[in-house]
Amino acid sequence: MTTPILERATVLPPLQLGRLTVDPAVVLAPMAGITNPAFRTLCREFGAGLYVCEMITTRALVERNEKTLQMVRATTDEADAFSVQLYGVDPATVARAVGMLVDERVAGTRPAHIDLNFGCPVPKVTRKGGGSALPWRRRLFGDIVRAAVGAAGDVPVTVKTRIGIDPQHVTYLEAGRIAQDAGAAAITLHGRTADQLYSGTADWAPIARLVEEVDIPVLGNGDLWEADDAVRMVAETGCAGVVVGRGCLGRPWLFGDLAAAFAGSSRRALPSLREVAAVMHRHATLLSADQGELHGCTDFRKHVAWYLKGFSVGSDIRRALAMVSGLDELAELIDRIPDQPYPLAVLGAPRGRTTPPRPVALPEGWLDDRDDPRPPKGAELQVSGG
């Protein structure tokens, strides 16, 4: 892997969350269907600070839904740093779910960190008052954070949110103050409103404003496609760390770049196709070990286009890879692709979903009373199962 020189490097100190030290201060964002045990292991092998599992629904966890219990499993190398993100809209249910994780160790280990999701913009979540819609109900928001912190004991609880519902309903500053007062160890801010979904360009200015507003660490999230972006975000906002989501899709070595950047090194990875192919096979092997070869390779199919983005690959091989069902078949197909240097044209380009903006689906009357502490009726039942 070649290593071009960046114009600027910086050193970011470790992030302290209670007794948990995150070094480097780089967090793998929870992504549904992506940040399973196999992907977390792969990213850990390239080097970062904290790896969060897929978002877990508190109602499903409390009900001991079988799929959810499987999703919340820790891997053997996560024994001291297992990280869980929870979604919930009822303080009592959130507290029970946190208690299960901390006291019963339903993940197989006691989590080192719990994050609360108040940033999801998906309609099936917001229309029930959850995700990025919830901070608008400030009393309910504060009650949920306090309930989680109280049940977590010495396990640090953090919060992830967005700028607000839309430009007319901005919540991030108040949410930061409430989260801090409720005992949150840190807050992550994605530089978009909920109505933007994943469109346009993330606005990092609110991250800088939140850093000025609260005393707890602020982590920045949004449009971190390269290590350069993370270095620039820290320089521009003063954030204490970064949370990386779509930027690592098909590029788990990005965490190695980030670790190098925040250690003050200019080393960056530009893997050849042969090197990318080895990572692809390693990823599929980890999925197969966890899920069985057929299911693991089937799950791996969605990653193929991300790994091969920008490379010259014949349409027949792409079609075959989209239907791959075994590790030997995968190895044979990727061996048929001629080796080539990393496509520089894709550097800095968006990855993953890029949905157009649209109005946020909200429960009827949701915007009427910000101090209504009641959970939305039946909200968690609609998204149970993890």
pLDDT in tens, 202-250: 999 999 999 999 999 999 999 999 999 999 999 999 999 999 999 999 9
Residues 141 and 206 both lie in one domain: yes
Determine the angle formed by the axes of helices 293-307 and 327-335, rounding to 10 degrees: 30
Backbone angles phi, psi at 308, to 5 degrees: -95, 5
Residue 78 lies in a domain: yes
Is the C-alpha dihedral spanning 57, 60, 62, 68 positive or negative? negative
Residues 246 and 288 both lie in one domain: no
Residue 76 lies in a domain: yes
**What share of the chain in percent tops pLDDT 70?**
95
Q: What share of the chain is helix, strand, coil (3-state, %, to 5)?
A: 45, 15, 45
Q: Which residue has the tokens 């209504």?
A: 372
Q: How confident is the model at residue 10 (pLDDT cuts 50, 70, 90)?
A: low
pLDDT tens string 266-300 = 889 999 999 999 999 999 999 999 999 999 999 99
Distance CA 115, CA 102 (A): 13
Question: 241, 207 in Cβ contact below 8 A?
Answer: no
Residues 214 and 109 both lie in one domain: yes
Ordered DSSP codes for 47-107:
--SEEB-S-EEHHHHHTT-HHHHHHTPPPGGGTTT-EEEEE-S-HHHHHHHHHIIIII-TT
Q: 353 vs 57, which has greater pLDDT?
A: 57
Residue 2 lies in a domain: no
Residues 200 and 310 both lie in one domain: no
Number of domains in the chain: 2
Residue 351 lies in a domain: no
Distance CA 185, CA 187 (A): 7
Residue 377: what pLDDT? 77
Q: How confident is the model at residue 380 (pLDDT cuts 50, 70, 90)?
A: low
The CATH code of the domain that includes 71 is 3.20.20.70
Distance CA 261, CA 267 (A): 7
Determine the angle formed by the axes of helices 205-213 and 227-237, rounding to 10 degrees: 50
Residue 225 lies in a domain: yes
Indicate which residues carry an active-site annotation.
120
Question: 237, 220 in Cβ contact below 8 A?
Answer: yes
Residues 154 and 297 both lie in one domain: no
Residue 350 lies in a domain: no
The CATH code of the domain that includes 299 is 1.10.1200
Residues 208 and 322 both lie in one domain: no
Question: 3-class secondary structure for 256-284?
Answer: HHHHHHHECCCCCCECCHHHHHHHHHHHH
Mean pLDDT of the chain: 93
Residues 219 and 202 both lie in one domain: yes
Residues 169 and 298 both lie in one domain: no
Rg (CA), the chain: 20
Residues 188 and 321 both lie in one domain: no
Residues 219 and 336 both lie in one domain: no
Residue 8 lies in a domain: no
Does the predicted TM-score (pTM) go above 0.85? yes
Residues 98 and 162 both lie in one domain: yes
Q: How confident is the model at residue 7 (pLDDT cuts 50, 70, 90)?
A: very low
76: which residues sit within 8 A by CB, 6+ positions away?
Answer: none
Burial class (CB in 10 A: 0-12, 13-18, 19+), 16: middle
Residue 259 lies in a domain: yes
Residues 217 and 145 both lie in one domain: yes
Ordered DSSP codes for 325-378:
-SHHHHHHHHHTSPP----GGGTT---S--PPP-PPP--TTTTT-TT--PPPTT
Q: Which residue has the tokens 């959810």?
A: 68
Residue 382: what pLDDT? 41
Across the beta sheet with 26-28, the strand order is: 50-51, 26-28, 241-244, 218-221, 186-190, 157-162, 113-118, 83-87, 56-57
Chain mean position to CA 168: 26
Residue numbers of the domain that contains 146: 15-269+362-383
5, pLDDT greater than 60: no
Q: How confident is the model at residue 49 (pLDDT cuts 50, 70, 90)?
A: confident
